[in-house]
Amino acid sequence: MNLYSRATSRSFSSARDNFDWALFLTAAALAVIGVINLYSATSAARAGLSELYVQQVYWLVAGGILATVVAAIDYRVYERFAYLLYVIGIVLLLVVLILGRDVRGSARWIYIGSFSFQPSEFMKLFLVIALAKYLHDDPRAEGRSLGNLVVPTVLALVPVALVMRQPDLGTALIQALTFATICVLAGIKWRSVVTLGVSLAIAFPLAWNYVLKDYQKQRIVSFLNPEANILGANWHAHHARIAIGSGQFTGQGFMRGTQNQFSFLPDQYSDFPFAVFAEDWGFFGCMILVGLYAFLVLWAIRIASLAKDRFGAVLAVGVGAMIFWHAFFNIGMVIGLLPVVGVTLPLFSHGGSSVLTVLMGIGLLMNVSTRRYQTSSRTL
């Protein structure tokens, strides 16, 4: 057996022995529950929707294969191609602005025949990898000022600006907040955090007047006055709250939720699957679901704390932050605590690009976790 074969054999053996079952089982549980919920969400024989859960299974299988490949390749290989992946993501976002097809007032997808994908979803991971590369190469271990974060800030602002041009406020928020989370956990000075917060507060009126689209402003206004315009801008949020309330503690039962079955709940398979789940399974089921997401995020932080180099630690933090902010915004908007911003619920909402991105992120977490016993480098 040659040296390469021995090294490969040791690598597979190490990955097998250190396989992160907690991460795998949590992600698998969310995916399975998500398919079951999607079946309920599309069970009322709506035209063109009844087979969406089958499509979701296909995407989960494809995403599982991608996650396996991502996990099998040593994550330090991605460090060498971090900026190349970032540039590819930026180019794809520019292609969307030039060739993207307008759907419901926004152009977010690239179409190749009957196949389509959303580059902004994959850009979330590419951004995390690029930020991990930069912070890994940065000799500072802590106490970073805003001046020290100019380069990573530019790395984040470019895709955020391009996504806002589509326009896609929800995805832009996820990218910006993932970046902010990485910065905070990477050791930014609290004085710099306060300065940044004050700057954002001052900039909000400018964003309101010159950045946000009219329909985005309407969503915020509707959130502040939830009982107004129920037949218009507040229709989605209003019926989502009714669905959640009708579930009470134990739910109405699988495929028996009236708001869903009688088609009062719009976008129940994409933006509002949590409302379907809450109506079917009630408060008890929702606590289990939220617990699974909380465990997944906390496990990502644990993986980051055990990572043997700064690159792996930032990767884990970034993926965990991406999943957290997705779940936070989606559940928050469904229960009425946040404005409706069109953010998917990880492994629950229907959508190929979203499913593939989340599972590739899970693959990165598995990658860092299974290699935590290998030779260390710099820490976060």
For residue 379, name the pLDDT band (cuts at 50, 70, 90).
very low
Digit-coded pLDDT (tens) for 26-50: 999 999 999 999 998 887 655 456 6
For the beta carbon of residue 185, count every other beta carbon within 10 angstroms.
Answer: 17
Digit-coded pLDDT (tens) for 268-315: 888 889 999 999 999 999 999 999 999 999 999 999 999 988 999 999
Q: What is the pTM of this model?
A: 0.88
User: Would you state the pLDDT for residue 82?
Assistant: 95
Crossing angle of helices 119-137 and 169-185, rounded to 10°: 20
Digit-coded pLDDT (tens) for 8-29: 455 555 556 688 999 999 999 9
| CB-based contacts of 275, cutoff 8 Å, min separation 6 | 239, 240, 243, 244, 259, 260, 265, 268, 334
Contacts for 53-62 with beta carbons within 8 Å, 24 or more apart? 53/350, 55/350, 55/352, 56/350, 56/355, 59/351, 59/352, 59/355, 59/356, 60/31, 60/35, 60/347, 60/355, 60/359, 62/352, 62/356
Domain ranges of the chain: 21-370
CA dihedral 9, 11, 12, 13 (to 10 degrees): 80
User: Would you state the pLDDT for residue 4?
Assistant: 41
